[in-house]
Amino acid sequence: MTSETITADTAGTWQLGDLTVNRLGFGAMRLTGSAAFDLGTPSNREQSIGVLRRAMELGVNHIDTAAFYFSSLRSANELINRALAPYPKDLVITTKVGPVRDPSGAWQPHARPEELRGQVEENLRQLGRDHLDVVNLRLMGQDSVSEHFGALAELRKAGLIRHLGISNINSEHLAEAQSVAPVVCVQNRYGVQSRSTDADAILRLCGEQGVAFVPFFAIAGEGREQGASAADWSGDEVLRSIARAHSATVAQVRLAWTLQQGPHVLAIPGTGNPDHLVENVAAAALRLSADELARLDSLHG
């Protein structure tokens, strides 16, 4: 694949409410360091800023972030603000609320409904925005979402949030949230060999309802926040053979498979490496055959 000539719009577009985004986006989690929540390994600030600016040059107009993405010296939102403000008019920034980290980086119990306004306002301050384009409620083991989602719906009515989404959910959570306010996107773990419980059913349900499905850890797989292992990067022989056939990387095959799960599926691969950024965006042009898709599907037991 000739990566340098491929831009994010090659994958097509989808609507997040009234906002149009290219289906190949960017996840900001890895901008802060080698692992998402590793306080001891901060990233190179100028390189991270350069990756964000290069992403815009490559047509990325959808960034996924969160105020709890920070390392000892880096905050993803601060990097986004520094690199991209004043923001391009077509740029959509999606953030998440719900999980809580104290200033030392330690995880706390998830936010109570009345604490979500503070989290929204923190994202606004860090990003330098007067409203947030999309806010996802990231679940942390809750059985019910109505109180938390209701609190965000009130902030939407107040003009602090434009659209709402939900993350790390099951089918019942989606229906419950939709009874409170419109849902424009669902973020769940989903990849060739690794996905959350009933993720396939939720993906299909989202497609039927016109809701964007946004997989996370599509490349990292079981490595999750720590990133893909050497085995994940090299992949199973099926992945390697398909990659060779397309002169592509295994990561590109994983992303292409993700995008071909439906026109409503968005990809948000994250990286702090400028070369990996170019490769990830180039996956927007990779088209897998029906046979190749079937072979990849067979890898998930």
pLDDT digits (tens, 9 = 90+) for 131-175: 999 999 999 888 899 999 999 999 999 999 999 999 999 999 999
Domains: count for the chain: 1
Is residue 59 one of the residues assigned to a domain?
yes
pLDDT of residue 244: 96
Give yes or no for residue 84 having a pLDDT over 50.
Answer: yes
Is residue 165 one of the residues assigned to a domain?
yes
pLDDT of residue 235: 60
Q: Which amino acid is located at 62 in the chain?
A: H
Give yes or no for residue 224 having a pLDDT over 60.
Answer: no
What is the separation, in whole angstroms, between the first and last Cα of the chain? Answer: 30
Which of 26-30, 146-150, 163-167, 196-200 is predicted with the least confidence, judged by mean pLDDT? 196-200
124: nearest Cα among 70, 161, 98? 161
Is residue 108 one of the residues assigned to a domain?
yes
Pairing of the two strands 100-101 and 161-167:
unpaired
Sign (positive or negative) of CA dihedral 164, 169, 171, 177: negative
Provide the pLDDT confidence category of residue 103 given band limits of 50, 70 and 90: confident
Specify the CATH number for the domain of residue 109. 3.20.20.100
Average pLDDT over residues 16-30: 97
Extract the tokens encoding 122.
């923190």
Q: Are 135 and 152 in contact (CB under 8 A)?
A: yes
Provide the pLDDT confidence category of residue 221 given band limits of 50, 70 and 90: very low
Give yes or no for residue 222 having a pLDDT over 50.
Answer: no
Is residue 206 one of the residues assigned to a domain?
yes
Which of 138-147, 222-231, 283-292 is predicted with the least confidence, judged by mean pLDDT? 222-231
Residue 12: how many CB atoms within 10 A of its CB?
Answer: 12
pLDDT of residue 45: 93
Provide the pLDDT confidence category of residue 195 given band limits of 50, 70 and 90: confident
Q: Are 214 and 186 in contact (CB under 8 A)?
A: yes
Is residue 122 one of the residues assigned to a domain?
yes
Is residue 294 one of the residues assigned to a domain?
no
User: Helix 45-57 to helix 274-282 angle, to the nearest 10 degrees?
Assistant: 20
Provide the pLDDT confidence category of residue 39 given band limits of 50, 70 and 90: low
Pairing of the two strands 19-22 and 13-16:
antiparallel
Kindly tell me the burial class for residue 256, based on how many C-beta atoms sit within 10 Å of its own C-beta (0-12, 13-18, 19 or more). Answer: buried
pLDDT of residue 225: 45
Range of the domain at 185: 19-232+262-287
Helix (H) / strand (E) element for 79: namely: helix 76-84
Is residue 34 one of the residues assigned to a domain?
yes
User: Which among 41-50, 65-74, 242-251 has the top mean pLDDT?
Assistant: 242-251
137 or 198, which is more confident: 137
Is residue 41 one of the residues assigned to a domain?
yes
Average pLDDT over residues 80-109: 94
pLDDT of residue 1: 60
pLDDT of residue 54: 98
Provide the pLDDT confidence category of residue 40 given band limits of 50, 70 and 90: low
Query: How many Cα atoms sit within 13 Å of 157 on the Cβ side?
Result: 8
Q: Which residues are catalytic?
A: 69
Average pLDDT over residues 11-26: 98
Cα 73 to Cα 44: distance, rounded to the nearest angstrom: 10
Cα 85 to Cα 79: distance, rounded to the nearest angstrom: 10
pLDDT of residue 35: 57
Average pLDDT over residues 259-266: 98
Q: Are 248 and 5 in contact (CB under 8 A)?
A: no
50: nearest Cα among 79, 86, 77? 79
